[in-house]
């Protein structure tokens, strides 16, 4: 999963066709648990560009986007937020897949 490099890149990517941002941090145990399933999700949903956003590096983006728990996901399509799966709870592969499938509905 590509890692976000700058706030400018975030603005550019959210205006892309289909982007899902995953907000996470290296110290987050629930984030580490879902890490092994992420390559499979990227393979199963090739129409989306997945971007890893480090919560500690980009705290201002998290504040602007109301991300108060991780791991969290926000989907964008052509600059519009089309869905969010934001909570502090642990997430399963099925829950993440349901979220992604809801974006194209």
Domains and CATH numbers, the chain: 2-99 (3.40.30.10)
Q: pLDDT band at residue 68, thresholds of 50, 70 and 90?
A: confident
The mean of the pLDDT values for the chain is 93
What CA–CA distance (Å, rounded) separates 8 from 72? 20
Q: pLDDT band at residue 88, thresholds of 50, 70 and 90?
A: confident
Q: Which residue among 28, 51, 65, 74 is the active-site one?
A: 28
- 28 noted as active-site residue: yes
CB distance 51 to 16 below 8 Å: no
Residue 104 is predicted with a pLDDT of: 66
Residue 89 is predicted with a pLDDT of: 78
Q: pLDDT band at residue 83, thresholds of 50, 70 and 90?
A: very high
Q: Which residue among 4, 22, 31, 41 is the active-site one?
A: 31
């Amino acid at each position: 999963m590509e890692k976000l490099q700058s706030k400018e890149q975030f603005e550019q990517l959210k205006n892309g066709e289909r982007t899902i941002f995953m907000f996470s941090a290296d110290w987050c145990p629930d984030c580490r648990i879902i890490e092994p399933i992420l390559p499979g999700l990227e393979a199963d949903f090739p129409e989306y560009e997945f971007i890893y956003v480090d919560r500690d590096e980009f705290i201002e983006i998290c504040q602007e986007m109301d991300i108060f728990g991780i791991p969290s996901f926000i989907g964008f399509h052509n600059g519009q937020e089309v869905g969010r799966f934001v909570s502090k709870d642990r997430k399963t592969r099925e829950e993440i897949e349901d979220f992604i499938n809801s974006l194209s509905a």
